[in-house]
Amino acid sequence: MKRSYSKYSAKDDLLWLILRPWIFIPRVLYILLTFIFLFLRILFQGNSKNKNVQKNLSKYLFDVITDLGPCFIKLGQALSTRPDLVRQDWLTELTKLQDNLPAFDHKIALKIIEEELGSPANELFEEFPDSPIASASLGQVYKAKINNSYLAVKVQRPNLYFLIRRDVVILRFLGTFLSPLLPLNIGVGIGEIIDEFGKTLFDEIDYQKEAENALRFANLFKENPNIFIPKLEKQFSSKRVITTSWIDGVKLRDRALLEENNLIPASFIKTCVISGLQQLFEFGYFHADPHPGNMFALKGGNADCGNLAYVDFGMMDTITNSDRLNLIKAIVHIINEEYYLLAEDFQKLGFLTKEQDLQKLVEPLKEVLGGSFGAEVGNFNLKNVTDKFSKLMYSYPFRVPSRFALIIRAVVSQEGLALRLDPEFKILKIAYPYIAKKLLTDNSEEILEILLEVVFDKKGQIQIEKVESLLNILFRDSENINSDLIPVANAGLKLFVSKKGSEVRKNLLLSLIKDEKLEFTDAKKLLTLIRDTFSPLNMAKSAVQNIISTV
């Protein structure tokens, strides 16, 4: 019998569970007691230097999360991507939450396949194994064979809808009830954030929805030679079974594993981060669960950009065009140390109320972010700023809009994944040049407006320091200094002579007039800056580097 799942509804699901106190009360007590025992054990043993004690404690932590079920496993997976938050011996155990969980009964999996696809597995496939090759929070994967090709057949865990519905309601109840006691200040949004988590999980257990996500994601990256998305096999997919082509790659689990396979970790970090930035700032549609179990390093590519495969498209989300542009503006304002404008960006994004006096936040924002995005770009990491920002949120009326819960999860997970491969990794070494290049090469009306804000002040005068800072970020903080020179030069020239460039031309002319006189000082500085940046020697180096990268 085919299943039909309802959408998540906080009110309806809470009512459903309250009307079943024989389910609700024992489960709440069990969760509370489990966490109390876990807390006490960590309190007394967490600082022990005995390796056996820590090994047993990490195993206990894994068992607790696994025993509590899919909702808690999802939360544990997020922790498993943060080597800067979790000790290494615990992290090794938590990594198993990604795809090494206890499997459910093989006979049940075969029954689900027959119910969903209409025939037994041994009739549908030439070869079908007796056990799964991987087992994750929501399903387990089999490596089947048909027409001399291998397929990944993911079968959903039984009774999943009930388990998630029950536990999301309880998580929301406990989170809302306990939030005043926690040393956090995320505004009024903790219930909303759990609602967002619940909606995403309900979407994730609908494999037909996942199939649509996979097709959409593949279409976005169809022109990118470094990103591979497995092909969906529609005839072997349904609401509780999804089948794709098999990915023959190495999971982005640790540096040593990649090096053993003659793969360069840094190349996959760059591909991973750039593709994540594209999802957020270009496509507005992103993979919200980029943990090492969902990403594979493939052969091919080069030392600069490795070939990367994404799998598991159950947890996806979108970002609105307005939010996307405001985030880019926020990054520009941080770069330029314009903290009042940054406070306005936070207000537009919903992190601050419309009634908030933004002037009061200028100094606190400067204290938290000052220097982090300037000369010290190489020393920046999200955790340093996040730690400072947590204190700021506790003291000031910041709140996390629920729609940003998955964006934050995706970005933090991606940085955590990169840190597993390279403990010295700094996300802005890649992200900074990407944003700068986007400002200089994207000729859309919205991005052009942001670029004009950088180049000209409110009086229409050229801001030489900001233009120089933007070029420095792209061509001096980038690991591949010369490769972007030609694309940026081409884009700049096209913009200048195009209809869209009329505003640029007008502002340049106006900037030459000061006190009703022609003033060429700033124009000369700008021309000198452009001449030095795009010198014939640099352009030649760029051409050679681009040729080498394509070979």
Q: Which residues are catalytic?
A: 289
Which structure tokens are listed for 191? Answer: 């219930």
Cβ-based burial of 40 (10 A; exposed 0-12, middle 13-18, buried ≥19): exposed
Q: And the tokens for 515?
A: 């006190």
d(CA 160, CA 9): 17
Here the tokens at position 489 are 């030069």
Which residue's structure tokens are 């598991």?
312
Write the Ramachandran bin of 118: left for phi over 0, alpha for psi from -120 to 50, otherwise beta: left
How does DSSP assign 36-98, residue by residue? HHHHHHHHHHTT---HHHHHHHHHHHHHHHHHH-HHHHHHHHHHTT-TTTS-HHHHHHHGGGT
Q: Which of 328, 338, 330 has its CA nearest to residue 466?
A: 338
299, two tokens: 């052969």
- Under 8 Å between Cβ of 296 and 336: no
What residues form DSSP beta bridges with 184?
none
Four-point Cα dihedral 426, 429, 434, 440, nearest 10? 150
DSSP label at residue 311: -
Count other Cβ atoms within 10 Å, centred on residue 244: 23
| Nearest partner of 232 among 251, 250, 212, judged by Cα | 212
Bridge partners of 297?
250, 308
Pair of tokens at residue 103: 């499997």
Q: Which of left, alpha, beta for 389 (phi over 0: left; psi -120 to 50: alpha)? A: alpha
Alpha-carbon distance 287 to 434, whole Å? 19
- DSSP calls for 420-435: HH-TT--THHHHHHHH
Give SS3 for 295: strand
Please give the full DSSP string across 385-422, using - where no structure is assigned: HHHHHHHHHHHS-----GGGHHHHHHHHHHHHHHHHH-
For residue 489, give the nearest of 531, 534, 442 by alpha carbon: 534
One DSSP character per residue, 200-215 reads HHHHHT-HHHHHHHHH
